Amino acid sequence: MSNAADTSRTAKVLTLDGPGGAGKGTISRLVAERLGWHLLDSGALYRLTALAAQRRGVALDDAAGLERLAAELDVAFLAEHDTTRVMLEGDDVSREIRTEQAGDAASRVAALPGVRQALLQRQRDFRQAPGLVADGRDMGTVVFPDAELKIFLTASAEERARRRLQQLQEAGVDASLSSLLKEIQARDARDMQRSVAPLKPADDAITLDTTRLSIPEVVERLTEWLARRGLLTPET
């Protein structure tokens, strides 16, 4: 038992924080694959909590009910080829939790201190050898303050809305650029202004604006920074 605990405490961590649409999800997955590390999509936990609440008839302003749900959440992340299947109580909800409505509901749930506390240890449990790439909004500030490398990814709201529109269109979902932009701006404001774990870079984080960068360019920069910190093995 102590060996497992020691291993989790010493496992290296790379945190990727930032607003929605900055590229955290795709980049985190690619970097985790390149390193052979575990992956934590913390945003999915909040989306799953909101979805579980919807399925069980728990209101998004019912703090006590949401805290109980978060503490008992039956979830699993199954890595398959170039994607990750997200399971809630045995159901594949990968597509269901990626809608703008799910993201908006997750942002409301994430503003509740009790829910964040209930999910905190669950997120820390993902820290296992050889290492963890943690994607979220407070990974470097709250969940893994001792991470070896902290990155804060950002991009203009307009560029993030454009990227999201492209994702939805490729998935066959109708959406409007103007409505996406409004939703992103509202979510940014809520995430930055919440009282607990507001969205902001850690003091020791490197901020990277991805507005004019391609995904391969971002991955290459992260790889360079990882190499400088001695976090890459010869095989990677």
Residue 236, pLDDT > 90, answer no
- What's the topology of domain 2-213? Rossmann fold (3.40.50)
Distance (Å) of CA 85 to CA 44, 82, 91, 96, 203? 11, 10, 10, 11, 33
Q: What is the mean pLDDT of the chain?
A: 89
The model's pTM: 0.83
Residue 4, pLDDT > 60, answer no
198 alpha-carbon distance from chain centroid:
14
Reading the block at residue 72, the tokens are 């008992």
Over residues 9-32, the pLDDT tens digits come to: 679 999 999 998 898 988 998 898
Q: Is the CB of residue 116 less than 8 Å from the CB of residue 172?
A: no
Distance (Å, whole) CA 49 – CA 43: 10
- What does the buried/exposed string (b/e) look like for 159-197 if buried means 16 or more CB atoms within 10 Å of the residue's CB? bbbbbbbeebeeeeeebeeeebbebbeebbebbeebeeb
Over residues 84-102, the pLDDT tens digits come to: 789 999 999 998 998 878 9
What is residue 2's predicted lDDT score, i.e. its pLDDT?
Answer: 43
| Better-predicted residue by pLDDT, 176 or 78 | 176
Furthest-apart CA pair in the chain: how many Å?
53
What is residue 79's predicted lDDT score, i.e. its pLDDT?
Answer: 66
Reading the block at residue 234, the tokens are 């010869």
- What does the buried/exposed string (b/e) look like for 121-156 if buried means 16 or more CB atoms within 10 Å of the residue's CB? eebbebbeeebbbbbbbbbbbbbbeebebbbbbbbe
